[in-house]
Amino acid sequence: MSLDPSPSESRSRSLLEIVRRSATYLGGHGVANPRLEAELLIGHCLNLSRLELYLQFDRPLQEVELSAIRPVLHRRAAGAPLAHISGRREFYGLDFEVGQSVLIPRPETELLVELALQAVAGPLPTRIADLGCGSGCLGIAIAHHRPGALVDLVDLSEDAATIARRNVAHHGLQDRVRVWVGNWAEPLSGRGPYDLIVSNPPYVTGSEWAELDPGVRGHEPRLALLGGEDGLMSYRQLLPQAARVLGPHGVVLLECDQRRISAVRGLARDAWPAASTGVHRDLSGRERVLEVRLE
Ligand code: GLN
């Protein structure tokens, strides 16, 4: 893509013209919201918020600025997610570092935070575990809104745990949120009982993997997405472990794919035969979160 002035033009292009050209370029490469992404990417390169960008639309861009923008647009056009280029993603109104080793937080997962905040609404201290935490977005968002909560985040990936630790520090929660490396609840044995356990485990099946958006399949970690051939492997592992550390009145909230949520419900009943279970729909009407209550 050319961001250079044509030979007949002596002036350099304004920021607005560059935004427009970039949007056209990204749109031509299949980016779904090209104008928005062009603004966010250019803002990232120039270290400007979107508002600051708007206020400078008439300003001509310097060559040094254009050379910062070009490679970033090319990366995005080649399929790299915006969040990997900026290294950040907003989730539940909070800013998180993300990277290649963690799932980019999805808006539909915010439902799980809302349900968690309802489950631990009182002022009493609560113990919470986030299993397979990735960036830590779930446990950190809950801890941010519940000052009485003590939260343990667990991930199998050292690299994910490193990002989660930086996110804990970024939100100033080091005194209440700890990050552990290990398989589901294994590092937490002896640390319970927990009042609430949350998880957004990998749940994509082998055949769905092939149909995933290439931007997801080519850039996000398989470890965070693939739940074995039938998409249930994570739940089979994590539920019996969670049962060992959940307290007597505990609540479990699990993100699921709607096609398998009843199978996950069956696995949860195996782990807690006396529990009541419920299913919650996300904003697009899909059954998304399974709730298990011991009462
Ligand atoms: N919802 C995610 C996706 O469709 C999958 C998340 C997961 O496996 N936990 O990309």
Q: Is 204 in the pocket of ligand 1 (CB under 6 A)?
A: yes
Mean pLDDT of 29-45: 96
Substitution candidate for ligand 1 out of 135, 200, 204 with most atoms within 8 A of CB: 204
Residue type (1 letter), 143: A
Q: How far is the CA of 245 from the centre of ligand 1 (A)?
A: 26
Question: What pLDDT, on the 0 to 100 scale, is given for residue 85?
Answer: 96
Mean pLDDT computed over 101-121: 96
Q: Which residues contact 247 (CB under 8 A, 6 or more apart)?
A: 127, 192, 193, 194, 195, 294
What are 153-210's pLDDT values in tens digits?
999 999 999 999 999 999 999 999 999 999 999 999 989 899 999 999 999 999 999 9
Query: ω before 193 within 30° of 0 (cis)?
Result: yes
Position 211 pLDDT exceeds 60: yes
Residue 200 beta carbon below 6 angstroms from any ligand 1 atom: yes
Contact between residue 125 and residue 149 where contact means Cβ atoms under 8 Å apart: yes
Question: How much is the pTM?
Answer: 0.92
Q: Is there a contact between 61 and 13 (Cβ–Cβ < 8 Å)?
A: yes
pLDDT at residue 7 above 60?
no
**β-pairing verdict for 177-181 and 149-155:** parallel
Rounded CA gap, 242 and 189, in Å? 10
pLDDT at 49 over 60: yes
Q: Count Cα atoms within 13 angstroms, Cβ side, for 56.
A: 19
Residues of the chain with pLDDT > 90, as a percent, come to 92
Residue 25 Cβ contacting ligand 1 at under 6 Å = no
pLDDT in the model for residue 113: 98
Nearest CA to ligand 1 atom 1: 106
Position 80 pLDDT exceeds 60: yes
Higher pLDDT, 88 or 123: 88
Mean pLDDT of all residues belonging to the chain:
94
Helices (H), the chain: 15-28, 34-46, 50-55, 63-77, 82-86, 110-119, 137-145, 158-170, 206-211, 214-217, 222-225, 233-245, 261-271
Task: Give percent of the chain above pLDDT 70.
Answer: 97
Tens-digit pLDDT profile for residues 221-238:
999 999 999 999 999 999
Closest ligand 1 atom to residue 108 Cα is 1
Does the Cβ of 132 fall within 6 Å of ligand 1? no
Report the side by side order of strands in the sheet with 246-255: 177-181, 149-155, 126-131, 194-199, 246-255, 287-293, 276-281
